[in-house]
Amino acid sequence: VTEIISPLEQTVIKEGYLQKAKIADGGKKLRKNWTVSWIVLTGRKIEFYKDSKQPAVANLKTGYKPEWVDLHGAHIEWTTEKSSRKNVFQITTTSGNEFLLQLDQDFIILDWFYAIKNAIENMSKD
């Protein structure tokens, strides 16, 4: 068994299920489609998986490539205009991708918001 030593950037900060909708790709608007996604936050990116077992599978180098968001230079903000749902925040990447993340439970979504915000701010100090 080969031990892979992760650099700090690959360390998992937080993971869990959230509602996700990608609403723009490279600045081009997409039709909104909410899905439940297993979200893995590391120091510089967010990965989206179908379920909690998938990251382990991906680490076995099966060639599976999750959808991911580069947080470097990204913006995060709460929005009440982009959805009729409550507790929605938007992440906008430098490449013009826009994602909405949402959860009804206030405490959990608040935790996610600040975890992602901190990751973005810590990176911009580099």
Query: Can you give the binding site for ligand I3P, defined by CB under 6 A?
Result: 31-32, 34, 83-85
CB of 55 to ligand I3P, least distance (A): 27
CB of 59 to ligand I3P, least distance (A): 33
* Stretch (H or E) spanning 15: strand 12-25
CB of 84 to ligand I3P, least distance (A): 3
Rounded CA-CA distance 35/26 in Å is 20
Residue 3 or 81 with smaller CB distance to ligand I3P: 81
Residue 39 or 119 with smaller CB distance to ligand I3P: 39
Residue of closest CB approach to ligand I3P? 83
Residue 62 or 84 with smaller CB distance to ligand I3P: 84
Residue 31 or 61 with smaller CB distance to ligand I3P: 31
CA angle 111, 119, 60 (to 5 degrees): 95
Dmax (CA) of the chain: 50
64 contacts 47 by C-beta, under 8 angstroms: no
Rounded CA-CA distance 21/88 in Å is 10
